Structure 1
Amino acid sequence: AFGETGEGWRRFIGQLKRRGLSGVEVATSDAHDGLVQALREAFPGLIWQRCQAHFRRNVIDQTPSGYRDRMHQILDQLLEASSQRDMQRRFEEVSGEIEENASAALEVLEDGLLDATAVLTLPGKYRRRLRTTNMLERFIEEIRRREKPVRIFPNIGSVERLVGALCAETHEEWSTGRRYLTMDAFFEWKATHQTRELEAEEPTEPAPLAV
């Protein structure tokens, strides 16, 4: 049976790869250690984005009730920064205030803020839709809405047909109609990014020895 362990996630992702999943560049999920490790093992070089909705809840859960409205404002400022450098500058400006009013929340912020803003390294058009798992949550809600009238499925095949039909509908919509994302700008960004990394690694000519 599938369980939310590292081994369980590795088996699950392995099954997807055997069915043809490849070329995964970015993954967004909650901070489940086993899942994150399995993703990185399966797709070296993957950009992992910690779901900002889950991260926000984690921070707010550790924030005293009287400071939560202010914490939401701070999180808006940090998560909507223009870059990770901008985020770090903003965080430095408010870290003292947070430590004074919500020290436990500060620990959560310090531990997860870079992962929760990994999307800021991507071109702007991808940030909104890749910053959370909302798209997946909506898809799961639609599955639940459609299975609710059935109540009891006679066998696993009937479940697979219902879920498969919804997957096919979504695939058709994204392929021929409203595309969820187009990746041209991402691959251009990736190529430029890799070129810069290679240039930075190129050895420079040694300076001539003084005589």
Structure 2
Amino acid sequence: MIPKVEAYHKRKLSDKFFCVYLDATYIPLRRETFEREAVYIAIGIKPNGHKEVIDYCIAPSENIEVWTELLQNMKSRGLKQVELFLSDGVVGMKTALMQTYPKAHFQRCLVHVMRNICAKVRVEDREAIMNDFKQVHQQSNKQEGITVLHSFYSKWQKAYGHVIQNVKDIETDLLVFYNYPKQIRSSIYSTNMIESFNNVVKRKAKPKAEFPNERSLDTFIGIQAMSYNDRYFKRIHKGFGQVQDTLESYFE
């Protein structure tokens, strides 16, 4: 499988993806000592609704330098245009995206934002604050989303001023998904799609306990990525088939 995985990493990429999800997951790998290594993963959906694992790489920890290198590698292999990137709150991600794909837009994963909020509030408030924040992505248009978000600020500002300020600081990245057709919004307000792939990888890696070296881990991830791409080669992701012409128009 090693030559196939090497060819996978070098293959020419499609010139455009409507959206690209970026996320890192951690897998046990033995180097000098037993460590959990970061696997950086990019999964994209094309304007026609077909999705694929674009590429991945392995590093000791998650940092923006490695993400930048992965993005530049994707561009050099033919991926010239991306309309929308989605990721969690990695420091420097927006800057890296602007340098590599200056015309692309950026959506912060609302599920990650909600988790961060819940981690910083009292246990007895978590369910209520989570239910309130969920309303942000369940509105019919962007203006309603803004109204709900600002009501969320007002309700919780007094109890959790610092938490609310953190959300206000990233507000411009929270409601970008409303700029796109409602048929696909449920797929583009979070990185849940890529996390489902990560969960499959982790589940299949669990019986191995740890990988003896980076090549073995790289080969294992490559097999999962190629299997995923084969499985979804001609499937259209939910909602995308209904708005294919609209999504194509973003690249004209």
> Which protein is bigger by CA-based radius of gyration?
1
Could you say if the C-alpha distance between residues 93 and 154 of structure 1 is closer, same or farther in structure 2, counting changes exceeding 3 Å?
closer
Look up the match of 2:80: 22
Q: Deviations over 1:150-185 (max 9, x none)?
A: 345455444333222221221122223x33354672
Look up the match of 1:50: 108
Could you say if the C-alpha distance between residues 189 and 144 of structure 1 is closer, same or farther in structure 2, counting changes exceeding 3 Å?
closer
Look up the match of 1:13: 71
Aligned residues: 193
The SS at the match of 1:136 is helix
For residue 140 of structure 2, the aligned residue among 63, 69, 82 is: 82
Percent identity, aligned pairs only, is: 22
- 1:9–1:34: 8 Å Cα contact kept in structure 2? no
Deviation at 1:67, TM superposition (A): 2.7
Which runs of 5 or more residues in structure 2 are unaligned? 1-58
Deviation at 1:2, TM superposition (A): 6.6
For residue 164 of structure 1, the aligned residue among 209, 222, 225 is: 222
Name the CA distance, whole Å, in 2 between partners of 1:86 and 1:134: 23
Deviation at 1:16, TM superposition (A): 2.4
Letter of the 2:118 partner, please give it.
I
Letter of the 2:169 partner, please give it.
D
Deviation at 1:142, TM superposition (A): 1.5
Deviation at 1:189, TM superposition (A): 5.3
Q: Normalization by structure 1: what TM-score?
A: 0.76
- 1:84–1:114: 8 Å Cα contact kept in structure 2? no
**As a proportion of its length, which structure holds more strand?**
2
Could you say if the C-alpha distance between residues 27 and 35 of structure 1 is closer, same or farther in structure 2, counting changes exceeding 3 Å?
same
Name the CA distance, whole Å, in 1 between partners of 2:157 and 2:215: 54
The SS at the match of 2:85 is strand
Name the CA distance, whole Å, in 2 between partners of 1:23 and 1:184: 22
Name the CA distance, whole Å, in 2 between partners of 1:2 and 1:152: 14
- 2:64–2:93: 8 Å Cα contact kept in structure 1? yes
Q: Which has the higher contact order (CA 8 A, sep 6+)?
A: 2
Name the CA distance, whole Å, in 1 between partners of 2:242 and 2:169: 33
Look up the match of 2:197: 139
Query: Mean alpha-carbon deviation: is it higher for 159-168 or for 180-189?
Result: 180-189
Which runs of 5 or more residues in structure 1 are unaligned? 196-211
Q: Structure 1 residue 65 and structure 2 residue 113: aligned? A: no
The SS at the match of 1:175 is coil
Q: Deviations over 1:116-141 (max 9, x none)?
A: 22111111122112221122222122
Query: Mean alpha-carbon deviation: is it higher for 166-175 or for 142-151?
Result: 142-151
**As a proportion of its length, which structure holds more helix?**
1
- 2:81–2:104: 8 Å Cα contact kept in structure 1? no
Deviation at 1:52, TM superposition (A): 1.0
Could you say if the C-alpha distance between residues 183 and 115 of structure 1 is closer, same or farther in structure 2, counting changes exceeding 3 Å?
farther
The SS at the match of 1:21 is coil
Q: Normalization by structure 2: what TM-score?
A: 0.65
Name the CA distance, whole Å, in 2 between partners of 1:9 and 1:190: 27
Name the CA distance, whole Å, in 2 between partners of 1:194 and 1:145: 37
For residue 128 of structure 1, the aligned residue among 183, 186, 195 is: 186
Q: CA RMSD for the aligned pairs?
A: 2.8
- 1:4–1:34: 8 Å Cα contact kept in structure 2? no
Deviation at 1:28, TM superposition (A): 0.9
Could you say if the C-alpha distance between residues 93 and 158 of structure 1 is closer, same or farther in structure 2, counting changes exceeding 3 Å?
closer
Deviation at 1:48, TM superposition (A): 0.8
